[in-house]
Each structure stands twice: as C-alpha cells, then as structure tokens.
Amino acid sequence: MDRRRPGRWRLGAVPDRAYANRVTVDSQGRIFAINAKGELRVFIWNTATNNWVNGAGVSLGTNWLMYNSITAAGDGVLYARTPAGALFRYEYSFADNRWLQIAEPIGTGWQMFSEIFSPGADILYARGSSISTGPVLRWYKRDDTTDTWAPLAADGAGKVVGYGWTTELHVSADPSACGLVK
C-alpha cells in the first residue's frame, strides 16, 4: 500500500493477477487483503491523522491461501471462495477484536463466477455465469434470521439482474451504499 495516499497501490505491491480478487473493502472503508504468506490483513485509514492506523496492516488470521476470492459485504462481513467453488461466510467484530463467525458454509458452484462484489448489507452480485441468453449478473441476499438466501431463481441460483457481464475488466460497488434497516 502507498501509505501516503489511501486507495493507491504502489507499483508491484500486488505480485500477480492471482491476487486481484483477494483484496476487498468493507462498508467502513477497511481494506482486507490476503498476502502471499496466506495472512488475511486489514488496513485502516485514520481520517483525523490522515495516515494508516498500521501501515503494515493487522493480521486477522492465516491459512487464507485456500481462497481465490474474498468479498466484503458489510461491516466486518467477508465471503471467501475456494477455487473449487465453495463459498464461506466470516464476520469480524472490530469492537470486540474477535471473529463472530468463521467459515460458515454458504454453498458450492461459485466457481462459475468470474467476479463477486457487494454494495454491503449481505448482498452479493456475481457475474459471468451463463444461461441460454449468455453471461449474466446474478443478485443474492442473505437472510440473517434464517441463514439462507432470499428467494432464488428457478435454476436455484441468484436472480438474474443483467445480461452480457463478462466483457468488463473489473466491476465493483460502493461498499457503503447499502445498509441493513431494522
């Protein structure tokens, strides 16, 4: 990370494209990244001091190299995907400095997506799966009360909300754009 300017990676800071989907930002602006040693590190920018809280990041755990993708989907909420397509949910409490949920199995088949991103509130968008009309964008919403997804499409996957979504190089959403209203 370039410590002088938030949101800017130094040239060479990300070793190769394999790490492109191993960096994400949660709804509070925290940057999560899996490094080459397999550590999940979090980087927090202090707007009052205009500096990183810890420029090297804080380790939240090891053995994260098993995941080829992480997606923040709320305050401390992470989804992690294995190359085989298994998806797991994690939730970290920064107030308590501990994991509230570790590797909750969410489902399989997620390898069909080239990218997973989120606007927050436990909503996932997944792009790149195909149906008869071609590549699509799918919408998923986790129901906290039942630990299940909101009603799915007839094919058992997320609702199709767009078509032709494999041509974009990278897609993201404002991670603080969506919040859970109780």
What's the mean per-residue pLDDT of the chain? 83
Is pLDDT of 34 > 50? Answer: yes
Range of lowest pLDDT (15-24, 50-59, 117-126): 15-24
Model confidence at 57, pLDDT cuts 50, 70, 90, reads: very high
Is pLDDT of 111 > 80? Answer: yes
Mean pLDDT of 149-155: 77
Mean pLDDT of 156-181: 69
Give the contacts of 16 (CB within 8 A, at least 6 positions apart): none
Amino acid at 153: A
Is pLDDT of 149 > 80? Answer: yes
Q: What is the DSSP string of 91-121?
A: EEETTTTEEEEEEEEEES-GGG-SEEEEEET
| CA–CA distance, 127 with 64 (Å, rounded to integer) | 23
Mean pLDDT of 127-140: 80
